[in-house]
Chain A
Amino acid sequence: MNEQQIDEEEDCSCDEWSSGSSYCDSESTIPEWDAFIEPNGQLLFIDCFPKVSHTASESNSSSNFFTKSQARQSTRSKFLRLLRRKNSKRFHKPIEIPVADNKVKFYDHPEGELREVIIKVNNDNQKLGPKNSLVESLLGLTVDTLSDGSRLMISGFDPDAIKHKGIKIGDWLKSINEVQVTCNNLDSVLESFVSLNEVTLKLQQVSGVEVTKHPPINKISIRSQFVQLLTNSNKEHSESLKEALASELVGVLFLKTEGLKEDSPEFEEVLYNFPMPYNKNILCTSRGAFLTLNHLINEMVSSKPHVSSINYKNQLAHVIYVSCGSKLLLFMFPDKCLSVEGSQLVAEEIFRTIEFMYQSLERFLETTSLRDEVDHFFLRVFTRILWPDTVQFSSDPKANKPWRFEDLLLGAKYLILPNEAQMQVDDALSELEASDYREWNEDPLDCQRLFTILGSALYHQGFLLTSHFVHDDLIDVTSFCKQQGLFYLSATEPLKCLVLWKEVFPSSCNRSLPNTESLFKVPEGKRYLLVVGGGKDLLAVLMEAGGCTETPEDNMGPDPFYVEEVEATLSHLKELGISDVADHCLQTNPGSQIVLPEGFCEKKKADFFSSLSKSTLSLNKEGPPHLQKKTEVTSILKRRSSDQGPLYTTGSVLSWNEDNLEDSVSQSSYSEKSEISDEPILGRRATREKKPFIDSPNDDSDIDDYRDGSQASTSSFDLSELRQNLIMESEDMQPMCLTGGTENVLFHYVQFDSTEGVLLLPPPCRVNSQLLQLILDNFHRCSRMIHETFKNTLRFKKMLAENMAKSVLNKSLIAIKEQGTLFELTVNDENPKKTQRISYWVVGRLFYDPHPREVYICYHESVPQNIVEVAYKLSLTLAG
């Protein structure tokens, strides 16, 4: 975080805050999502910043999702009122179903209202590099043109820099210090004000239709088809998508297998079918074959069929069988996206999500009132299967890519944060989960709480940062968010606010079904999933109503108090800089833990590059002089000044990114390793030893947190310091080199822990490398097959002794724990004629103590590796 911004933050007085956030705009206690609650209590509310091309870094502009609600602190009575409320407010007014686009809101000021806003000019910020526009660096605003092409619209603002005194996204920026501005003269006008301390902006509220012919909202909505798909708000789009799906080899079918008669009408046994209509769906028309096979094969070899492969019009597809009692669920997936093994894994995941969301398959598919929801569910499922990268319809056949191996596995991708940041996250989540509000209220409360929190997890761009869930629930929640596209949303859309509320049936509670076998009785009640998102973060919370709480109502909607509480936790974490730290981890990782294959093709070239990079690296270590100065400012933190990369001081995610890019492009990252890998553990230990010293101010703040009973109330000074700390620590964190030898030779790794539901892998590589892509495609294919081999071993381990003799499992396969292949990749370039050749290993290893864990690595053959060692180092990084 930038020095200046922090200073400003401290300068800001509290009363400015309360007027600022969009959350508080509603002025009343009714939250903005209240209108979107469905009659059954479910809610999916998504509010995005407009995506504007002008903005250099969207992640920066979108950072303000919810600020602390001032009201919460002061109104104890409100809290009580909320807890005691008899009826939800939504029942008092007609229920609005969100039909219209709900992404960008133009708030309810009178049309054309003119306002004048005084804004500080941020003179120090000009060094921010060419990518940031002048208006952004000076005023902390991002602008876009209105659809007439010249007038300027506010498209976003830096929340830390300006305490946006009434500035709204979508406002027409008319003039600065009485000088009219358009997109043509904006920069020149601004330059003339550089020396001033303050400028006056004149803004006019735009009500779309009146001011411009085409309201900007349309322009924005085109860009966010994904959000429309998610909220099911654009029927037209959904319909066209359904048509597109009908021509693909996809489908889902739910069938009765009993009580069928010869003379019963056609399609009588079909309980559910997607996509419609019946007679155009290949799966539906050929259902007889699969029904027959299902019972025939059981009769023949007393084993259930898993999958049938078919060929239709020269396209290969797989049909997956899921038996459930006397009913049969069939999925069809095209081979171009999912292989046989992949199809089975994905079907398993879908099935699990359905159980999580609706308790059972029957309940999901046979409740007629849910029909639309079910259609929408599968619409998204199949869109994701066919276009895994974009999750949107694309007519380009190349978009139908085979799935990556890691996406097939039931688990959450885990991102390792520095210890300190990890602790802060854990701390914040624990506090949220404790729901201890005693200190908040002077008088003892005379009411029961509404919910017990069962667990929570924080995700950043789809990567898991921390989970406080039971393992099974983590898998449930992660699959749910994956299926629902929430991860994709938080990674790609400039998310302002997301609130999701849904009754769910977690597997830790036995899907809320009575279980006589278990020793522990699951309390009767209902469980709800609350997902709150902002920026790139998602916080998922499982709540239980029942047991020690008040008796749950039917169709219970989200409770504003709890939503606010989760929002506050999220914004607290945001303020701590967790989001930036995570971003940093995501962006630096590919450079140091894995390498690009290009460097290995021709050794001579690689040497040249490595020497080149060494020189740049040493430059980086010293750091430019003006940055050195800044570190002195923060030297209260007693850090080795040599640790300070040039990165943290600029505070911009972008600049990290750039540096990283340069590094990787020059194919030098492995050589960088050689310098750092000398004493990776020492470095980490050093950090740890220093910790008590650094921790001491934080500890104080923790106690403050506790006393206040709310994370939102921590004083901003402590937070900003803590934030500095965390970001600095993330600078220090150098992921350990996993392979042996002086050169890093690792291209990719995946560690899959099926019990904990955790996946460990390097973040996606940001450098477009054709070779790496080719290697990874093959890696994904091979890992799938190796995973299949390990399945036999695991199955045998679980098998009871008496079943072993009966089993027809191939006995040669029962104890395989490692499998690997050396590949040679040859790329012939026609023009100019040259051949690139590279050899690499793909190796998988299964560990089954204390519980099964699979590790897959892909590395260059030049340095032989022992996968057990690599796996060991990998688990060391996980342990922190």
Chain B
Amino acid sequence: MSAHVICIASGSGIPIFSRKKGNLENFPFSVIGSLNGVHMFTKSLSITLLNTLMDDYCVVWKEYFESILIIGISSGCTKDALEKLLLSVFNAIMLILGVNEVRSLKNVEKIKRELRVIYPVIDRLLDCLDCGDSHSKYCSDLISLAEVILCNENHQIKIMLDTYTENISSAYTCILIHGKIAVATEEWWDLHPEELKLLAFLASSDSKSNIKDVPVFLPYKSPKTRYRLITCSPMPYMHICCLANQQHSLNEIERSAINCFNTNLEVLNSAIQCFPRNIPESLQLDLGVLGLLLLNKNRGKYLISTIPSSADKKRICSYSHRSDILRTFFYRSVLKFLHTKNNLHEYVKRECLLNDEIDSSFDKKEIKSDESYVSTVGTETYWCSEYHKCYAIAVEENVLCLMYNSTVPTYAMKHIARKVLKAITCNKQLCW
């Protein structure tokens, strides 16, 4: 129901920013000071304070590069999800400041001003937490993963994008529909999932103008050299993004965008209609399926759809509720059981040891389990509630989570899931 992130310069103890969502009051300065103080005190004893759990709340402390301390407080979500959120928030800071400035943190006042740009992104990140009763329109956001939308037109749009990419001589381009990636170049997909996520948020964050030019560092790919994220918006809810360097001219990029896309506006228009279902109308699923979440572990992308059957377009509120359940299932079940690398203990330890390592379990470079003698991998997981059932199956790099009506028998869930997975991944038009 509520979440807070507080960012503090750990050397001086000066708060850099504090963002929140939900109905909790802002914390007074003394509380923030104490939270920081506790962490500092244990640090002086060479103890790292990691987190504190309550009934429903949890508090997580994380210091990055010995210069920035981020504290997260949230209710309803797991400690692991909150930890991931803090990493994303830190990456958002990196996106604006770059590694050098984050390390040195010379002028805190200046940094505070610079970071204002990123506030909308951080607020969106807070929406990634599952709180159990979210009615926000962003309740389909998942932490550390980039959301995609699958339209029937994706294949055509991809051809347009390729022309555009050639014209502007930058390999990093992508098209967002409603802030979700519709198509992108291979190079774009090679970016770290965290970067994909942050760039999409940054590009689609509310803006009056049709064209945006934001200087960004890439936390993983280029933490030291600045790029430019240029976003053109030929029509509402549609963004054409590219990463450019200093030589590119904004005008030129805008002109090529108009050239490449304006000729086929009706294609784009019909693609936009795909929202909020996020999958084409033509794709009909079993009636027992209430929602689906499909993700690709290697690319770090996911698709969420809570209106699987077109007959069932009634209450928007229940759709957001469904995606919230799917998210909770994902954080509490899929992340815990289907992503076990050998041993969770090892994983936790590694996370603790490499305090500075920027990492997530969806790292593109697979954690090399070289000569692993024993491995235990989860392949399916489910839970049954009084009101619904959730089921997830991992097939190669894809994980499909489905939310079912509680009347669907448990043994049938696997069968339906396999059919759905095949329908989506084998459809060439959708470009999954």
Residues of A within 8 A of B (CB): 282, 285-286, 288-289, 292-293, 296-297, 299-301, 303-314, 316, 335-336, 340, 402, 774, 778, 781-782, 785, 789, 795, 807-828, 830, 839, 864, 866
Q: What are 13 pairs between A and B in contact, CB < 8 Å?
A: A289-B49, A301-B54, A304-B55, A308-B49, A313-B46, A335-B345, A774-B374, A774-B376, A789-B383, A808-B131, A820-B381, A823-B376, A866-B410
Does A826 lie within 8 Å of B374, measured CB to CB?
A: yes
Report B1-27 CB contacts with A as 1/0, cut-off 8 Å. Answer: 110000000000000000000001001
Residue of A nearest to B392 (CB): A821
Check: B176 CB closer than 8 A to any chain A CB. Answer: no
Q: Which residues of B are found within 8 Å of A785, using beta-carbon distances?
A: 336-337
Q: Which residues of A are found within 8 Å of B75, using beta-carbon distances?
A: 301, 808
Q: Which residues of B are found within 8 Å of A335, using beta-carbon distances?
A: 345, 348
CB < 8 Å neighbour of B47 from A310, A816, A818: A310
In this complex, the interface size class of chain B, counting residues with CB under 8 Å from chain A, is 35 or more
Does B31 lie within 8 Å of A300, measured CB to CB?
A: yes
Does B51 lie within 8 Å of A402, measured CB to CB?
A: no
Q: Which residues of B are found within 8 Å of A830, using beta-carbon distances?
A: 373
Does B2 lie within 8 Å of A808, measured CB to CB?
A: yes
Distance in Å: Cβ of B338 to nearest Cβ of chain A: 8
Residue of A nearest to B1 (CB): A808
Shortest Cβ-Cβ A-B pairs, 4 listed: A810-B132, A815-B386, A811-B132, A810-B76
CB < 8 Å neighbour of B373 from A336, A810, A819, A827: A827
Distance in Å: Cβ of A787 to nearest Cβ of chain B: 13
Residue of B nearest to A296 (CB): B34
Of the candidate stretches B205-213, B226-234, B322-330, B419-427, the one touching chain A is B322-330
Distance in Å: Cβ of A294 to nearest Cβ of chain B: 9
Does A314 lie within 8 Å of B52, measured CB to CB?
A: no
Does A289 lie within 8 Å of B376, measured CB to CB?
A: no
Residue of B nearest to A778 (CB): B376
Does A286 lie within 8 Å of B132, measured CB to CB?
A: no
User: In residues 26-42 of chain B, which contact A (Cβ within 8 Å)?
Assistant: 27, 31, 34-35, 37-38, 41-42
Q: Which residues of B are found within 8 Å of A305, using beta-carbon distances?
A: 52-54
Q: Which residues of A are found within 8 Å of B349, using beta-carbon distances?
A: 314, 316
Check: B352 CB closer than 8 A to any chain A CB. Answer: yes
List 20 extra interface pairs beyond A292-B38, A812-B132, CB under 8 A.
A286-B45, A289-B38, A289-B42, A296-B34, A297-B54, A299-B31, A300-B73, A307-B52, A310-B49, A311-B47, A335-B345, A813-B332, A816-B384, A820-B383, A821-B380, A822-B380, A822-B381, A823-B379, A825-B374, A827-B374
Q: Which residues of A are found within 8 Å of B130, using beta-carbon distances?
A: 810, 812
Does B378 lie within 8 Å of A823, measured CB to CB?
A: yes
Does A300 lie within 8 Å of B47, measured CB to CB?
A: no
CB < 8 Å neighbour of B372 from A297, A301, A781, A828: A828
Residue of B nearest to A282 (CB): B47
With the chains together, A307 CA to B75 CA distance in Å? 15
Check: B202 CB closer than 8 A to any chain A CB. Answer: no
Residue of B nearest to A815 (CB): B386
Distance in Å: Cβ of A516 to nearest Cβ of chain B: 28
Report B380-421 CB contacts with A as 1/0, cut-off 8 Å. Answer: 111111110000000000000000000000110000000000
Q: Which residues of B are found within 8 Å of A839, using beta-carbon distances?
A: 379
With the chains together, A288 CA to B47 CA distance in Å? 13
Does A811 lie within 8 Å of B133, measured CB to CB?
A: yes
Distance in Å: Cβ of B255 to nearest Cβ of chain A: 48
Residue of B nearest to A312 (CB): B47
With the chains together, A816 CA to B333 CA distance in Å? 12
Does A810 lie within 8 Å of B328, measured CB to CB?
A: yes
Does A301 lie within 8 Å of B385, measured CB to CB?
A: no
Does A807 lie within 8 Å of B56, measured CB to CB?
A: yes
Does A288 lie within 8 Å of B383, measured CB to CB?
A: no
Does B333 lie within 8 Å of A812, measured CB to CB?
A: no
CB < 8 Å neighbour of A825 from B37, B49, B375, B384: B375
Does B54 lie within 8 Å of A818, measured CB to CB?
A: no
Q: Which residues of A are found within 8 Å of B348, using beta-carbon distances?
A: 316, 335
Residue of B nearest to A807 (CB): B56
Q: A308-B49, A310-B42, A311-B47 are in contact. Are A826 and B375 (CB under 8 A)?
A: yes
Q: Which residues of A are found within 8 Å of B373, using beta-carbon distances?
A: 827-828, 830
Residue of B nearest to A288 (CB): B41
Interface centre among B53, B353, B379 (most CB of A within 10 A): B53
Residue of A nearest to B387 (CB): A815
With the chains together, A307 CA to B53 CA distance in Å? 5
CB < 8 Å neighbour of B377 from A308, A818, A826: A826
Does B379 lie within 8 Å of A822, measured CB to CB?
A: yes
Does B345 lie within 8 Å of A402, measured CB to CB?
A: yes
With the chains together, A293 CA to B375 CA distance in Å? 39
Does B337 lie within 8 Å of A812, measured CB to CB?
A: no
Does A311 lie within 8 Å of B332, measured CB to CB?
A: no
With the chains together, A157 CA to B371 CA distance in Å? 53
Residue of B nearest to A828 (CB): B373
Does B34 lie within 8 Å of A292, measured CB to CB?
A: yes
Distance in Å: Cβ of A128 to nearest Cβ of chain B: 42
Distance in Å: Cβ of B127 to nearest Cβ of chain A: 15
Distance in Å: Cβ of B332 to nearest Cβ of chain A: 7
With the chains together, A303 CA to B74 CA distance in Å? 13
With the chains together, A197 CA to B377 CA distance in Å? 66
User: In residues 309-334 of chain B, which contact A (Cβ within 8 Å)?
Assistant: 324-325, 328-329, 332-333
With the chains together, A815 CA to B389 CA distance in Å? 11
Residue of A nearest to B386 (CB): A815
With the chains together, A316 CA to B2 CA distance in Å? 28
With the chains together, A820 CA to B380 CA distance in Å? 8
Q: Which residues of A are found within 8 Å of B48, using beta-carbon distances?
A: 310-312
Check: B77 CB closer than 8 A to any chain A CB. Answer: yes
Does A810 lie within 8 Å of B77, measured CB to CB?
A: yes
Does B377 lie within 8 Å of A314, measured CB to CB?
A: no
Residue of A nearest to B391 (CB): A820
With the chains together, A34 CA to B40 CA distance in Å? 56
Report B74-90 CB contacts with A as 1/0, cut-off 8 Å. Answer: 01110000000000000
Q: Which residues of A are found within 8 Å of B41, using beta-carbon distances?
A: 286, 288-289
Q: Which residues of B are found within 8 Å of A815, using beta-carbon distances?
A: 385-387
Does A782 lie within 8 Å of B52, measured CB to CB?
A: no
Does B52 lie within 8 Å of A297, measured CB to CB?
A: yes
With the chains together, A814 CA to B332 CA distance in Å? 13
Distance in Å: Cβ of B8 to nearest Cβ of chain A: 15
Q: A335-B348, A828-B373 are in contact. Are A301 and B73 (CB under 8 A)?
A: yes
With the chains together, A698 CA to B385 CA distance in Å? 50
Residue of B nearest to A781 (CB): B344
Q: A289-B38, A820-B382 are in contact. Are A813 and B328 (CB under 8 A)?
A: yes
Does A819 lie within 8 Å of B333, measured CB to CB?
A: yes
Does A821 lie within 8 Å of B375, measured CB to CB?
A: no
Distance in Å: Cβ of A50 to nearest Cβ of chain B: 40
Does B382 lie within 8 Å of A810, measured CB to CB?
A: no
With the chains together, A825 CA to B382 CA distance in Å? 18
Distance in Å: Cβ of A298 to nearest Cβ of chain B: 9
Q: Which residues of A are found within 8 Å of B386, using beta-carbon distances?
A: 815, 817
Does B1 lie within 8 Å of A812, measured CB to CB?
A: no
Does B42 lie within 8 Å of A297, measured CB to CB?
A: no
With the chains together, A308 CA to B333 CA distance in Å? 23
Q: Which residues of B are found within 8 Å of A813, using beta-carbon distances?
A: 132, 328, 332
Report B48-71 CB contacts with A as 1/0, cut-off 8 Å. Answer: 111111111101000000000000
Distance in Å: Cβ of A817 to nearest Cβ of chain B: 6
Q: Which residues of B are found within 8 Å of A827, using beta-carbon distances?
A: 373-374
With the chains together, A651 CA to B352 CA distance in Å? 56
Distance in Å: Cβ of B291 to nearest Cβ of chain A: 12
Distance in Å: Cβ of A810 to nearest Cβ of chain B: 4
With the chains together, A340 CA to B60 CA distance in Å? 14
Distance in Å: Cβ of B366 to nearest Cβ of chain A: 16
CB < 8 Å neighbour of A824 from B31, B324, B379: B379
Q: Which residues of A are found within 8 Å of B383, using beta-carbon distances?
A: 789, 816, 818-820
Q: Which residues of A are found within 8 Å of B329, using beta-carbon distances?
A: 812
With the chains together, A815 CA to B59 CA distance in Å? 25
Residue of A nearest to B78 (CB): A810
Q: Which residues of A are found within 8 Å of B35, using beta-carbon distances?
A: 296
Q: Which residues of B are found within 8 Å of A823, using beta-carbon distances?
A: 337, 376-379
